[in-house]
Amino acid sequence: MKKPFTLRCCMLLFGVSSVFAGMDDAKLKERLKDGLLTLLTEENFSSRKTEVPGMDSRRELKEVTDEQFQRVLMELYKEAESKWPTLTPNTGEWVINKQVVISVLACLHMCADSQTKDFLLDYAGSKEKDAFSRTIALSSYLRAADPEETKHALLRFLVEGDRMEYMERLSIYEYARMVYDSADELKRAAILHALYVAASGTDVSPWEFRVCDEILERISPAYAKSSERFSLLKKHNAASYPKMREHTKKDLKERFEKMQKIKKFTNISTNLAALKSRDFNVPRPDLSTNDVVEASPDHPNTPSAADNTAERGIGTSAFFGLAALLLLGFGAWKLKAR
């Protein structure tokens, strides 16, 4: 039977686990570099989307500590960063150098201490870095962050402060969903509430809302039948659409018409101030409740309490793009060691 592509990547990069026992930094770094170059020669690798069986299983790699893994990854990153002035853009060597940087960023969450998380967050906020690598850094940070850190990061890059551009925000929505799938209840709540606020922004276009709404509808039963979502769909259905956005217009109209048939609406919070004041590292007794209220489809109830929270998330199948493949191929062994 043909092995799944990502599993073959792991084998190419690392071979048998015993190779790493007692490995010093220099040997580990060379092994990682050689494996990455091999991985990059795989045909059409950037378009493959596969999962590694048994990702939660444990492999005997206890000799490679988090500290060593982090140290070697940062050495690879610093070496790659120092090469930029000597490389011609879009050449083969330039592309490989960029992939090394992206791979390191994607793997750092596996060994992230507070200093590493600060590095990832600073990288994501740096206007000097390219947009794609910034979103990869943010994705890695979100995986390592606690619930409160997750909330602040999503608000910073989706709503306030260092709000990223439209295309990058679309990536962040998807990365947030991926993190949500494997997060605990408190972190899931932080992600949901941050996305509630992001989706309700006054300057969010219908086509951006369509992406965020689709994700929230799938992972939050409370959002899917909320009066707040009904109001947002009504607003975006009344918007003007260019001809190239006819598909978005049709899609949102169908969602709105479907919601008009709902007899009972839930309430969620889209209040930014209430969200910022809540500490998601502290459990709340109403975290998993769904408060249902009677409401007319034409005149849905609008909640008066901004922090009335009610959702229970359900996981969805993970989407693995380029960054995820690099992450699995370049670092899955470390995840299994934990």
DSSP symbols for 139-183: HHHHHH--HHHHHHHHHHHHTSTTPPPHHHHHHHHHHHHHHHHH-
One domain, residues 229 and 291: yes
Q: Is residue 196 part of a domain?
A: yes
Domain residue limits at 71: 1-42+50-144+316-338
- Looking at the predicted structure, is the pLDDT value of residue 187 above 80? yes
Supply the pLDDT for residue 254.
96
Supply the pLDDT for residue 6.
34
The pair of three-digit structure tokens given for residue 49, joined into one six-digit string: 């989307």
Supply the pLDDT for residue 255.
96
Judged by average pLDDT, the poorest of 64-68, 148-152, 303-307, 329-333 is 303-307
One domain, residues 333 and 292: no
Question: What's the rounded mean pLDDT across residues 305-330?
Answer: 36
Supply the pLDDT for residue 227.
96
Q: Is residue 88 part of a domain?
A: yes
Q: Is residue 107 part of a domain?
A: yes
Supply the pLDDT for residue 257.
96
One domain, residues 173 and 276: yes
Give residue-wise pLDDT tens across range 188-240.
Answer: 999 999 999 999 999 999 999 999 999 999 999 999 999 999 999 999 999 98
- Looking at the predicted structure, is the pLDDT value of residue 19 above 90? no
Supply the pLDDT for residue 179.
96
One domain, residues 165 and 303: yes
Distance CA(133)–CA(148), nearest Å, equals 23
Give the chain's domain count. 2
Supply the pLDDT for residue 288.
43
- Looking at the predicted structure, is the pLDDT value of residue 1 above 50? no
- Looking at the predicted structure, is the pLDDT value of residue 327 above 50? no
One domain, residues 63 and 162: no
Q: Is residue 150 part of a domain?
A: no
Supply the pLDDT for residue 107.
87
Question: With the C-alpha atoms ordered 314, 318, 323, 327, is the resulting torsion angle positive or negative?
Answer: positive
Judged by average pLDDT, the poorest of 88-102, 164-178, 278-292 is 278-292
One domain, residues 31 and 120: yes
Give residue-wise pLDDT tens across range 196-208.
Answer: 999 999 999 999 9
Supply the pLDDT for residue 286.
59
Average confidence score pLDDT of the chain: 76
Closest CA to 276 of 302, 304, 307: 307
Q: What pLDDT band is residue 36 in, cutting at 50, 70 and 90?
A: low
Question: With the C-alpha atoms ordered 320, 200, 194, 299, is the resulting torsion angle positive or negative?
Answer: negative
Closest CA to 309 of 333, 334, 285: 285
One domain, residues 169 and 120: no
Q: Is residue 283 part of a domain?
A: yes
One domain, residues 333 and 260: no
Q: What pLDDT band is residue 140 in, cutting at 50, 70 and 90?
A: very high
- Looking at the predicted structure, is the pLDDT value of residue 287 above 80? no
